[in-house]
Amino acid sequence: MSWPRFRSTGSVVISIGCVTAVGLTSALVFGPKALTAEFALLTADVGWIMGGTGNPDPTPSYISEVEALFLTPPKELFPGQPTFDGYTFQGLYTPEQFFPVTPTLVTPTGESGLTFGQSLALGVTDLNNAITPQLAAGDEVAVFGYSQSATLTTIEMDDLIAHPPAGVDLSDLHVVLIGDPNDPLTGILERFYGAGTLPFLDVPLNGATPEVPFPTDIYTGEYDGWADFPQYPFNFLADANAIAGILIVHPSYPTMSPDLLGSAIGIGTVGDTTFYMIPEQLPILEPLDQIPYVGPVLGDAIAPELSVLIDWGYGNPGDPGGLGDGLAFGGAVGPWPIDLTASGVAGILPRLDPLQMLAALQYAEVQSLVGPVDDILSYAGAQPLPQPVTTVLEVLTGYDLTNAVDAVMRDALTGVSQLPGLADLSPDVLFNGTPIIDGTPIIDAVGAVFSIINAL
């Protein structure tokens, strides 16, 4: 498809419930059993690779896929990609069950029908048994987690921080996570942290993967509803897109193309944790991609405006010509800004520059006209519209004028904010994409209800 890949409490209960009900999967293939912790090889520089929900025994093909993309690629797929040359990676068995989604899975000791929480508890034990002897021996150890195993890795990291083994340097543990539901910036289990445990499905809303002291790299597919859930869940369009992302983006990490991973953007570092966002198309429009010829044309007509509306749910005004820190990590090309304080809890109404929001829609109007025409010209073997056409359309829609007025307004606010006691009037404070209304009280109230239900 030709539309941009990277443009881009009842509500809380509905959001979590829909995501957990739909996001049941890493969509991976079962295979021969991986090594269990009892057979850990006590050699230096060993890495453990775990699967996701439904994939307790990482297969050789799965191991090869994630090594080639995320761990030991033949060459860096993007500048500065962290790699683990010299490590020997092997699969690690973890239960990866999620009742009622995985009723046929059975652990080596006979447990089946495990809830998400029960599966996590056993998986944490498996991981701890594998890595603790190596860390105690002073070895460098790498751990790779995906989806559910990213969450159990988060729990193990928290446990090691709370109860560090004697003589162990925790910085010897290197962590790589993909599709992390506990992503400190955007993961759904962090978005609704404080709500306790989701009733019936036993999903702990247990907060963020710790940013220190473990060297950690977290890869997140844009719009993956487990790992990149909207910060503003009352944006129901963004919620629906994220749920579609659970089905389309979340299972795709191990098999994504090297070129797609090569387009990953390093969006910053918090403590010892570095975050990478992998660009994706809007998953909610994926069905259009299956329609020959007509699909791309319709997609290019719809996607620009839809991207703007969806990205408002992530605190991104969406204006590629906008100014300010809110666009520091990619402008209109994704769900930005990312708050690198690693506080991704859900909120109500983002602090966005209204003129940049208007400009984003004006820019999207231009793209909605140019994109479909370029598709049709391409089918006919003709050249795309020349750039001057786009420039004229931007003038006619008022896009350039809106950005000019916005620049004047921001300059004025910046000047006022330099007066004593008026620092909060800085545009970088007023329009920083963070919540106008903190969602924590609502989440706490929902958590109280969850606690009552879970106690029954």
Active site residues: 147
CA distances from 132 to 86, 135, 397 (A): 20, 5, 61
Token pair for residue 96? 């990866």
CA distances from 266 to 90, 157, 211, 303 (A): 27, 23, 16, 24
Non-local (6+) Cβ contacts of 228 within 8 A are 183, 186, 187, 220, 221, 222, 242, 245, 249, 277, 335
Q: Which residues pair with 173 in a beta bridge?
A: 141
Token pair for residue 253? 């990490």
DSSP 326-386: GGTTTGGGSS----TTT----EEEE---HHHHHHHHHHHHHHHHHHHHHHHHHHTTPPPPP
Q: How far apart are CA 179 and CA 181, in angstroms?
A: 6
101-130 as b/e, with b when 16 or more CB fall inside 10 Å?
bbeebebeeeeeebbbbbbbebbbebbbeb
Q: How far apart are CA 119 and CA 13, in angstroms?
A: 23
